[in-house]
Structure 1
Amino acid sequence: MNDPALGDHVATEHPDHRSGVYRVVGVGDRQVTLLLVGDEEGKRIHTGDVVSVALSEFDGFESVEPPTRRQSLRESIRAGRAIGYWSLRAKARQLRARPAQTALVALLLGGGLLSDVLNLAPEPVSTALVVAGSLLFVLVVTGRLG
């Protein structure tokens, strides 16, 4: 491989380098910087291993397809559940850390919903309270509101 370009995926059997799929992350006059992104089987891995190779040595690398993320349906569901759990946990922590803003959000959302159900206020007012409460909720749980 003569002209490496950023983003190219290459592999080598050279004994000095770990076998696997590398992505070109830097190209200089004399060397190429590679990030290990796949194992020998072409499955995506996240190692953070960075290797610098002399341009003359880079000719021993061959162009390959990018690694794939071979994940079963069960693994995908498990990962999604874990992400959801930690996301909810972080949001709950944000709400507990800001009790005044959380109370305001609860009042706006609760007031808007109750006024709509019990017909205590015109529909536009109830809707405005729910929308304002929802927006404030997002601002509080993301930490963007004081």
Structure 2
Amino acid sequence: MSAACVRHALPEDLDRVAELAAEHAAYEKATPPAPGLADRLARLLFGPEPPRLRCLVAELPDGRLVGYATCAPELSTWDGAEYLHMDCLYLSAAERGLGLGPLLVDALREEARVLGLTEIQWQTPTWNEGAIRFYDRLGATSKQKLRYTLPVEPTA
């Protein structure tokens, strides 16, 4: 898999990234992304505001995009410091186990270094034993927490 690469997503990659995100949601038994995800990602990644999100893609030698990782700097009140929050890391099922996951994580580490951040944090479902084994092999440590979401209704 040495000829595969991980690089920053380009605007022309976003339709495929949106497809991969839909695969990711299905894998996690979650609600699929709403239509127009590629357009929303384009705004977050490429402006006109300063980029809020970063997206890395795993590309095979034949040019196919088979995975992605997204991240953004976040804050830890307890540490009084910023860290890199990895929101998603996903590889298509057929491409798992080929060494692309470590390439994506290495690229995330480099993103953190470039931003002057010393830690990456993320979450994974407790049932995702394959991901847990992968992260454990990387030397990552976990914390037991539950993730909550609370919808906010727009003001009229």
TM-score above 0.5, yes or no: no
Q: Normalising by structure 2, what TM-score?
A: 0.18
- Which has a greater percent of helix? 1
Q: Normalising by structure 1, what TM-score?
A: 0.18
Which structure has the greater CA radius of gyration?
1
